[in-house]
Amino acid sequence: MEILNVLAAAVAGFALGAVWYGLLAEPWMQAAKVPRDESGKPINAQNPLLYAGTFVLQLVVAGMMRHVFALSGIDTLGGGLIGGLGIGLFFISPWIMINNLYAARPLRLSLIDGGYATLACAAIGLVLTLF
């Protein structure tokens, strides 16, 4: 039931994002220059398509990571954790930083977003190898 692995891994990445950006909401909104309403909340915070789209993209990441793990023979918890950390730290985070460098965005934004990408990929990798 590989689809259940991928679904559970996507849920883990999504949930970690809720915690990460919940804890770092203010510095992230400042660094990203997120438009806010009168109460200080992001103007798109109530848009369900934002969250649905985010979850679909988490499914894409988890599905591709499962594919890469299968091709690479990664099937242990340690391998999943290290493989996920590597994907987040050495593939996704540098790409985020490249985009932010060209857009002249602050390093703080790259660190926040790259930190999430690294931890989320580690969590996804761990869950993918749980069962």
pLDDT tens by residue, 62-78: 999 999 999 999 999 99
| Two tokens, residue 54 | 């985010």
pTM > 0.85: yes
What pLDDT does residue 131 have?
Answer: 87
| 39 located within any domain | no
| 40 located within any domain | no
Largest CA distance in the chain: 51
* Domain, as residue range, for 61: 2-34+49-128
Q: How far apart are the first and last CA of the chain?
A: 9
**Total structural domains in the chain?**
1
What pLDDT does residue 117 have?
Answer: 99
| 111 located within any domain | yes
| 43 located within any domain | no
The band of 90, judged by pLDDT with boundaries at 50, 70 and 90, is very high
The band of 1, judged by pLDDT with boundaries at 50, 70 and 90, is low
